[in-house]
Structures are given as C-alpha cells and as structure tokens.
Chain A
C-alpha cells in the first residue's frame, strides 16, 4: 500500500509556466515532507523540505504548500525552465523510525521551450 500518493504521473508545461505536483498521505505521524529531484541516470537529490508547523516554504522558484488538515502537500515550480525537466518525488517520514522515507511514485516533468 502506497503510504504517499502522488499525482500527476507526468506533466508537460510551457517555459515560464507554473508546474504543480500534488501529494497526499494518511499517516498522521508523518512530520517531515521532502521533495526530491531526479535527472535521468542520476540519483535523487533533495530539493526542498517542509515540516507541518508551517503552511508554506519557498526556496527560489520552488515552493511547498502544506495543508495539515487535508493531509496534502504540493510542490509549485514558478517560471518553469527546460532545465527543470526531471522526475520529482515527494516523500514523508515520521519522527519515530525516521530512517524510513516513504516515497511517492514520482512525476515526470517536461518543460517545453
């Protein structure tokens, strides 16, 4: 059973547009929600992360929005660029047993010039 549900599976966005990827979870013990970016042939790399005590975190063009009551969080990429084309994974972990990151199934983002 997938602990973190991610959508959409793939996304095509024009250069300069906004890319939005959504994730949902059920486990209320989750207290850390990172997003990882993966380019073809490479390992995932941490992009941005949020804890549930804040509703939004912004780093450059990347923003995580977090809705604790709905148990949902999303990644927004503003002014999307062709270099942002990659697969994005959301993940979650709980404080107890935090060695286990539960990943979503991934979203392949393509930004068209």
Chain B
C-alpha cells in the first residue's frame, strides 16, 4: 500500500514552460486535493476533486488546471509557469467528501526560473 504517490519529486522550469504534476492514490478514496506550501504561508488549497468527474477551485487556483483522470489519479497542470509558482506542491486524498482526515503525498519541489 503506497498511499499517495507524486511524480516528479523535483522539477526546474523556465518561465513560460508548461508541465503536469502527477498524483495517484491506492486507498480507494473519493476526494483528492492539490496544495502548495510556501514559507510562512502554510498550505493553501489550489484545487480539489470531491469525487471522480468533479473538480472545484480552492483558495489559490489562478495559473493552474487540474484533471481527475479516474478515481486514483488527479493531475495538476501549469500551462505557463511563472516564478511565483515556485513552491512545494502536495497532493492529498480523503475517503469521502468532507472527510476530515487527509492523507498527503511526499510532495514535488518546483522551481521556476
């Protein structure tokens, strides 16, 4: 049982480049989330998917898109990366909509130059 996995672990992009962060969970959870973590800011929700086939904006969605590919996978796309998107990105899942415990992946450290 791997829990929540994320790829890649590290990535460096130039301004304007695009990339997709991948996330998968093997806990049969319905809900999945993308957060970014910045120093002094805590974790902030970018997008979430309450169930397969639905996605909603969180607190900081600008500059990002998401796809809930199936129940297991939830990807985050940066279409045109900006230095302000330099951050550590965490994917999380929970076992039902509104469930309180969220299980986090190990994170992707993204640097945009």
Binding site for B on A (CB under 8 A): 2, 4, 6, 9, 32, 34, 41-46, 49, 89, 93, 95, 98-101, 103-106
Q: CB-CB < 8 A to B50: which residues of A?
A: 99
Residue of A nearest to B109 (CB): A41
Q: CB-CB < 8 A to B97: which residues of A?
A: 98-99
Additional A-B contacts beyond A43-B92, A95-B98 (7; CB < 8 A): A4-B42, A34-B100, A46-B101, A46-B102, A99-B50, A100-B45, A104-B42
Q: CB-CB < 8 A to A99: which residues of B?
A: 31, 33, 45, 48, 50, 56, 97-98
Binding site for A on B (CB under 8 A): 4, 31, 33, 40-45, 48, 50, 56, 58-59, 90, 92, 97-107
Q: CB-CB < 8 A to A42: which residues of B?
A: 106-107
Q: Does the CB pair A43–B100 fall under 8 Å? A: no
* A43 and B42 in contact, given A34-B101, A98-B100, A99-B31 (Cβ under 8 angstroms): no
Residue of A nearest to B91 (CB): A43
Distance in angstroms from B9 CB to nearest chain A CB is 9
Q: CB-CB < 8 A to A32: which residues of B?
A: 100
* A106 and B45 in contact, given A44-B90, A99-B50, A99-B97 (Cβ under 8 angstroms): no
19 A-B contact pairs sorted by A residue (CB < 8 Å): A6-B42, A34-B101, A43-B90, A43-B92, A43-B104, A43-B105, A43-B106, A44-B90, A89-B43, A98-B100, A99-B31, A99-B45, A99-B56, A99-B98, A100-B48, A100-B58, A105-B41, A105-B42, A106-B42
Q: CB-CB < 8 A to A95: which residues of B?
A: 98
Distance in angstroms from B81 CB to nearest chain A CB is 22
* A89 and B33 in contact, given A49-B101, A95-B98, A99-B98 (Cβ under 8 angstroms): no
Nearest 6 interchain pairs by C-beta? A43-B104, A103-B42, A98-B98, A103-B43, A105-B42, A99-B48
A105 to B59 alpha-carbon distance, docked (Å): 15
Q: Does the CB pair A41–B45 fall under 8 Å? A: no
Residue of A nearest to B4 (CB): A43
Residue of A32, A45, A89, A98 with highest tally of chain B CB at under 10 A: A98
